């Protein structure tokens, strides 16, 4: 989301911040309830209820459940207002939401392109994924991807053992197998590529490139 950055958010905040007369009205309500007036002499704030409109102006339509969570972060005390610092924190949280959704879609598209199923139950061959990663970001990145798959498997095993479970022969064979991956393992492979930093991620193939 190109427009969802701190500079754009700051400029938007300046346009949407409450005017002195609005702050006076808020302080009057506080005084009527026996609270100390704090808005007129406090930092600039905007109406927390305008958060949906603010994101729309930044080019982002937020779904209701996500908006509710962001509203709680924007106005944890239910004061009805938020200062710039808190607005920027919410904008950054929304950026993280969008990036997570983008990565999830990218992994899902790649998984389906490799022959996966919509229910994410089917396992897919890792060789094409490794070959594509090697071509685009090098053998070291591909190896890091497979290492991430192994780490993902080991974590699942450790969780099983911690709960008192045991591995049978089939489980042990599955643990050693990186030739066929489930959805979560494809996701782990993708995160392994990103673990090498900007050099790897800049050239990392998109789902569209995997499809080709």
Whether 203 shows a pLDDT value over 70: the answer reads no
At 82 the three-state DSSP class reads strand
Q: What is the mean pLDDT of the chain?
A: 84
Whether 160 shows a pLDDT value over 90: the answer reads no
The mean pLDDT of 81-98, rounded to a whole number, is 93
- As a whole number of angstroms, the distance between CA 109 and CA 43 comes to 46
Q: Running DSSP on this structure, what letter comes out for residue 17?
A: B
Whether 57 shows a pLDDT value over 50: the answer reads yes
The reported pTM is 0.72
**pLDDT at residue 211 in the model:** 32
**pLDDT at residue 208 in the model:** 37
Q: Which two tokens stand for residue 9?
A: 């958010």
Whether 117 shows a pLDDT value over 90: the answer reads yes
- As a whole number of angstroms, the distance between CA 91 and CA 74 comes to 9
């Amino acid at each position: 989301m190109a427009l969802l950055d701190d500079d754009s958010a700051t400029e938007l905040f300046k346009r949407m911040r409450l005017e002195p007369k609005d702050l006076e009205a808020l302080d009057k309500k506080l005084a009527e309830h026996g609270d100390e007036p704090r808005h007129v002499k406090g930092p600039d704030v905007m109406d927390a209820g305008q958060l949906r409109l603010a994101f729309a102006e930044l080019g982002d339509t937020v779904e209701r459940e996500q908006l509710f969570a962001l509203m709680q972060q924007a106005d944890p005390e239910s004061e009805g207002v938020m200062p710039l610092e808190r607005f920027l924190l919410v904008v950054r949280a929304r950026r993280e939401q969008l990036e997570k959704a983008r990565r999830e879609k990218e992994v899902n598209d790649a998984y389906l392109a490799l022959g996966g199923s919509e229910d994410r139950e089917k396992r897919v061959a890792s060789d094409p994924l490794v070959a594509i990663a090697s071509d685009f970001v090098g053998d070291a990145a591909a190896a890091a991807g497979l290492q991430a798959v192994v780490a993902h498997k080991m974590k699942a095993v450790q969780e099983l053992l911690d709960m008192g479970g045991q591995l049978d022969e089939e489980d042990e064979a599955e643990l050693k197998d990186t030739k066929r991956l489930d959805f979560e393992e494809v996701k782990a492979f993708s995160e392994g590529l990103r673990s090498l930093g900007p050099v790897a991620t800049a050239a990392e193939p998109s789902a569209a490139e995997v499809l080709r």
